[in-house]
Structure 1
Amino acid sequence: METMSTRSAAVLTGTAGAARMFVAALAFTSAYVGFSAYGAATSDTRAEQITLSSRALPVTAPAAEVAPAKNGEIAVSVVADGGCARSYEARSLLVNPEPGQSMRYGWRLARWSPATKTWRTYLRGHDGFAGAERTAEWRAQISGNPGWYRVELTAGGEAVTSERFQVSC
């Protein structure tokens, strides 16, 4: 009887191995067929011709001249972004008293508060540079908040303030 149980175990072991081989072969065949179908689907060689065209538009208005930045002054100009959204660009010339050291500076867009009768911070920005001097530029966007504004620049412990300007929408 012992020989019979050994033979049954050997047959079952051989059958399990054959079943594993069959499953592996089936998986390989499925992968090959899928890959072949993918290759056939993507090997379409039709090409479409696309024609690009452009046209020249005349300049309707001359480019706005930007005044050179001056030390101790802030020039603010309006950059229309469309609709009521407007960007305001502030420029100033910064002179570093120690050109071998870096200089940090900060921008502040302040809005006049009629309730408290003070200038309140609306936006802030910081930057820095190394060298003797730099024309510093900062752009702030105001949308849907009418009122009086001004730009302040602080560098090396000193503050410079722009003229106030009004935003109407």
Structure 2
Amino acid sequence: MATTRSSAVLVSGTANTAKLFVAALAFTGAYVGFSAYDTASSAPRPTQTVTLSARELPITSSLSPRTSQPAKAGKVSVSALPGSDTGCVKTFVARSVVVNPDPDRTVMYDWRLARWSADTHTWRTYFVDYDGFAGDERTVDWRPRISANPGWYRIELNVEGTRTVKSDRFQVSC
């Protein structure tokens, strides 16, 4: 009987060992599979190249500084600066004549680039430039740059002690 008991213990020990071996293989397979999934999901996604282009829809006359209409008091003329279209950057030239109500004093004025907000249905100041001069009158110009921000714009000239003069609106596409 001693032989039978030894055989039974040996057989049951082998069965337990086999079960532990199968369980270890299952665990190892699950670990390797999870590691491979984690590595695959953390791989960087391929990059996608996007090309931007700008297109101007003219609202005012052709605006070359040499061929634009003469500047007038009470009117702001705007034109695109030729050759300024590099990628999605556009430079504009705004011109007007400022008449100093008191030629013995310095008159201050500011240019504002305003952008139309479709959310609030108002013109919002995009950026401002300040200047001034002493004398009777002067033809003034300003060269704002719009970079990668499509929309409707206008340029406003505010002269100290007078009303604000606004250009026609123009669209920048990119």
TM bucket, shorter chain:
0.5 to 0.7
Alignment of 1:41-60 (within 5 A): none
Distance 2:77 2:87 in 1: 23
TM-score by length of 1: 0.61
Alignment of 1:1-169 (within 5 A): 64-79=66-81, 80-81=83-84, 82-157=86-161, 158-169=163-174
Q: Which runs of 4+ in 1 moved over 4 A?
A: none
TM-score by length of 2: 0.59
List runs of 5+ in structure 1 lacking aligned partners. 1-61
Aligned length: 108
Distance 2:65 2:107 in 1: 32
List runs of 5+ in structure 2 lacking aligned partners. 1-63
Q: Which amino acid aligns with 1:69?
A: A
Q: Secondary structure at the match of 1:88?
A: strand
Distance 1:114 1:148 in 2: 10
Q: Secondary structure at the match of 1:72?
A: coil
Structure 1 vs Structure 2: percent identity of aligned residues? 54
Contact 2:65–2:79, Cα closer than 8 Å, also in 1: no
Higher relative contact order (CA 8 A, sep 6+): 2
Cα distance change, pair 146–63 in 1 and its aligned pair in 2 (3 A):
closer
CA RMSD of aligned residues (A): 1.6
Give CA deviations for 1:79-120 in whole Å, capped at 9, x if unaligned: 142222110110000011111111000010000000111101
Q: Secondary structure at the match of 2:144?
A: strand
Q: Secondary structure at the match of 2:124?
A: strand
